[in-house]
Amino acid sequence: MFRVIATAALALTVLGGTAFADPIEGMWKRPAVEGGTLEKITQCGARYCVTVASGENSGKSAGWMAPAGGGKYSGEIKDIDANKTYKGKGEVKGNSLVMSGCVLFGIVCKSETWTRQ
């Protein structure tokens, strides 16, 4: 009986990333104040890649996020219009993705909430 439980637990651990879709994956809309562009988040290896999906920068990489547990992520997000890369974090809260990050050793910080489309 122990072997069956251990095997099932191992299978869920190994297959968990592919068997269950992560809540960060999908199409997200940035606030209108920030241009309202769409950002597509897809799994790429152990990370999630963020790609601009609308507007003049469509198709450009906008960074990556890695799972940190509990619907939270950490990584780097690019503000293509401002030509800045922020080390930061994201947190999925229902149909919202709260993104925040800082540059210049944490002196300049920015946050925004994206909406699932």
Which CATH number do you get for residue 57?
A: 2.40.128.520
Q: What pLDDT score was predicted for residue 15?
A: 39
Q: Which two tokens stand for residue 55?
A: 């507007």
Does some domain include residue 67? yes
How far apart (Å, rounded) are the C-alpha atoms in residues 117 and 115?
A: 6
- Within a domain: residue 104? yes
Q: Can you tell me whether residue 56 is helix, strand or coil?
A: coil
- Residue 15 in domain: no
Predicted pLDDT of residue 20? 47
The domain in which residue 39 lies consists of 21-116
| Per-residue pLDDT tens digits for 101-112 | 887 877 888 899
Number of domains in the chain: 1
Does the residue 64 lie in any domain?
A: yes
- The predicted pLDDT at position 22 comes to 61
Summarised one tens digit per residue, pLDDT across range 38-86 is 999 999 999 999 999 999 999 999 999 999 998 999 999 888 878 888 8
pLDDT tens digit sequence for 15-27: 344 344 468 999 9
For residue 95, name the pLDDT band (cuts at 50, 70, 90): very high
Confidence of residue 12 (pLDDT cuts 50, 70, 90): very low
pLDDT of residue 116: 97
Residue 5 located in a structural domain: no
Q: Which residue has the higher pLDDT, 9 or 55?
A: 55
Residue 66 lies in a domain: yes
Report pTM: 0.75
Ramachandran angles phi, psi of 104, nearest 5°: 55, 55
Give the residue among 62, 72, 59 at the shortest CA–CA distance from 22: 72
Domain assignment present for 1: no
